[in-house]
Amino acid sequence: MSRISTTFQQLKACRRKALIPFITAGDPAADVTVPAMHAMVEAGANVIELGVPFSDPMADGPTIQRSSERALKNGVSLRDVLDMVARFRKSDAQTPVVLMGYANPIEAMGGEQFIAEAAKHGVDGVLVVDYPPEECEQFAASLGAAGIDPIFLLSPTSSDERIAKVARLARGYIYYVSLKGVTGAANIDTADVQKMVARIKSFSDLPVGVGFGIRDAETAGRVASCADAVVIGSRIVQEIESSPADRVLDNLRTLLRGFRAGMDSQ
């Protein structure tokens, strides 16, 4: 059983939901990423989504776009991201890490080499935004064979056919994008989220994580009442962007503890 599946199983037994924060590797500086990962775990994170910086992050709003720009200016590559995971693993062998990004860096390295390196460095899941399930069956199978969970996105406009396809290929959890548009958008409708989560679960037994548009503890709590996980990205990256260098880790802990409290209050 993968670290991701084990984590969700343990949380379910405790009647708790997973808090999944996203940060971009290398933002605000390469040497901050691993300490930030540990700080988020200390504050209640259950799974970490680690963004691989890319020059054209099409699904991301301006906040995460800027974080990729900063990371790239810091010279952070896919190999550096893998090394960060390996350093994190030296003192945390339990918390799952999911790499989230785009196809170009993976294809530049080579898909099979990337999978081998990801497994060696301690990656638990991979979500490639621009690898639709229809076009990456072999990639997903190769990830699974290496013990890495392929994670896929679904959206409010996903058809039953797409949901069934994702349900067949996905492992670990399914990421439901709760809004039409890019990351950082607003006005999440919890009733709509509840309906879509139920619809996804009619096709799959996997946990469903919900992200996009969750910016405060109250919203995180409402989403946690109907989903298995709450994914928070832009709000965290915004906190990193606005924090003085000597306050980044403390501010991250404070922010994540607030989200964790909001989720646990349900």
Beta-carbon contacts of residue 57 (< 8 Å; ≥ 6 apart): 64, 65, 68, 101, 102, 129
Is 160 a catalytic site residue? no
Please say whether the beta carbons of 130 and 94 come within 8 A: no
For 262, the token pair is: 């909001």
Is 83 a catalytic site residue? no
Our CA angle for 239, 241, 243, nearest 5°, is 65
Beta bridge partners of 154: 176
Considering 27, 31, 42, 49, which one is annotated as catalytic?
49
For 232, the token pair is: 């928070």
Our CA angle for 237, 256, 251, nearest 5°, is 65
Considering 27, 60, 149, 228, which one is annotated as catalytic?
60
CA distance 240 to 238: 5
- CB neighbour class for 62 (10 Å; exposed up to 12, middle 13-18, buried from 19): exposed
**3-state SS, residue 261:** helix
- CB neighbour class for 251 (10 Å; exposed up to 12, middle 13-18, buried from 19): middle
Catalytic positions: 49, 60
